[in-house]
Amino acid sequence: MFILSAEVTFAAAHFLAGHAGPCEKIHGHNYRIRLTVVSHGLDSLGMAMDFADLKRLLRDITSPFDHRSLNEVPPFDRINPTAEHLARHLHGEARRRLPPPLAVRRVEVFETPTTCASYETGPETDEEADA
């Protein structure tokens, strides 16, 4: 199996309703998002996917959040914009847009350089990722 990853960054604000701490107040992060995809084969050039295409896909699914308050962007106008929820949402968006035979393996959402949440599926867990 071939495993590819790409990363993008964006800045956004959010607050966590009901959080019993400072995260209940609006604050910002410089998010770093890593998308990991898998393929069992290569194309005629010897690539599972062109990195430029992978990065473009990742930019497309994260662009609605750049320089925004996440609490105002669906689906986070209905659910808390935690790193966990963001990872699951981005996983689902990437899955819907990724051309076969590629599959999304993992999305990692870094809120800081040292903290992240991931949402992952593997070949044995091919459930739909919706948020």
In tens, the pLDDT along 107-118 reads: 999 999 999 999
pLDDT tens digit string along 55-70? 999 999 999 999 999 9
Q: How many domains does the chain have?
A: 1
**How many angstroms separate the CA atoms of 121 and 128, rounded?**
9
Domain assignment of residue 21, yes or no: yes
CATH number of domain containing 9: 3.30.479.10
The domain of 90 spans: 2-120
Map tokens 């393996």 to a residue: 105
Indicate the average pLDDT of the chain: 93
Domain assignment of residue 130, yes or no: no
- Please provide residue 33's backbone torsions phi and psi, each rounded to the nearest 5 degrees: -115, 130
Map tokens 């050039």 to a residue: 45
State yes or no: pLDDT of 125 exceeds 60: no
Percent composition of the chain: helix, strand, coil (DSSP 3-state, to 5):
25, 35, 40
pLDDT tens digit string along 77-103? 999 999 999 999 999 999 999 998 999
Under 8 Å between Cβ of 94 and 103: no
The catalytic residue positions are 23, 67, 111
Domain assignment of residue 128, yes or no: no
